[in-house]
Amino acid sequence: MTDKFKDISIGLIIYILLGVMGVLLLPYASVSKESCLKVIKLYCGVVFWILRKSFNIKVIVKGVVPGNSPAIVCSKHQSFLDVLILLKVLPEPKFIMKSELSWVPILSTYARKIGCVNVKRNDKRRSRHALKEAITKEAQNQSGQLVIYPEGTRTIPGHMVEYKKGVLVLFSSLNRPLYLVSTNAGVAWSKTGKFKKNANASINFLEKLIYSKKDGHNLRYIKNKIEHDSQKLYEEEVSRD
């Protein structure tokens, strides 16, 4: 089996499995949010097993993972893999996700069940409105870890883009702990669908910030912390070749 054919085949298996497990286990997942999360975490575990057996890709989680209390998670985003890792390790994850995904069958059903929030990336007015709705909803919800990708899209390992201000709005409005997360997951499974053999797909819970007007944590601080460590993880993985 050629490398390219294997990449395509394994990618298809993973996405087909998403649909198959999603449909077959939907009756159970529909019972409650807790049962829905169990199905999601089961899927993540199966995917990790497939990646381990097919490419010897290992998932590594560093740092202190948030407990099951209200929190915001601000993470670097490079791959579908880093999404799966957060879904697996966070006790009660929910994501701020692009509105295009709200039209994807099965995936959108599960996303709504666990409390994900849709934001239209290219419409600032609608994005602000959705963010306000999310803040109002979250202020009344005393559980769950809300994941936001400050870049708004996947980036190539070693590259960076500007961070959006939404994370600061959430942080100051909800007054909840903010966890900064770095990753090199795009090395193991790139946004183009290529897998890297014997890779370590890492995410690192770098720092827990508590909101205070005096501390003055700004977007530059958040970006520097996440990007610096993501670059470090990337260089460590590349150096293993």
Residue 13 has pLDDT above 80, yes or no: yes
pLDDT of residue 216: 62
Residue-level pLDDT at 156: 92
pLDDT at residue 96, rounded to an integer: 87
Residue 124: pLDDT over 70: no
Contacts made by residues 3-12, CB under 8 angstroms, sequence distance 24+: 6/54, 6/195, 7/193, 7/194, 7/195, 8/193, 10/50, 10/51, 10/54, 10/55, 10/195, 11/193, 11/195
Whole-model pTM: value is 0.92
User: In 3-state terms, what secondary structure has residue 189?
Assistant: strand
Average pLDDT, the chain: 89
Nearest to 200 by CA among 51, 22, 84: 51
Domains along the sequence of the chain with CATH: 3-238 (3.40.1130)
pLDDT tens-digit series, residues 51-94: 999 999 999 999 999 998 899 999 999 999 999 999 999 999 99
If you search the block for the tokens 């198959």, which residue do you land on? Answer: 20
pLDDT mean over 192-208: 95
pLDDT of residue 131: 72
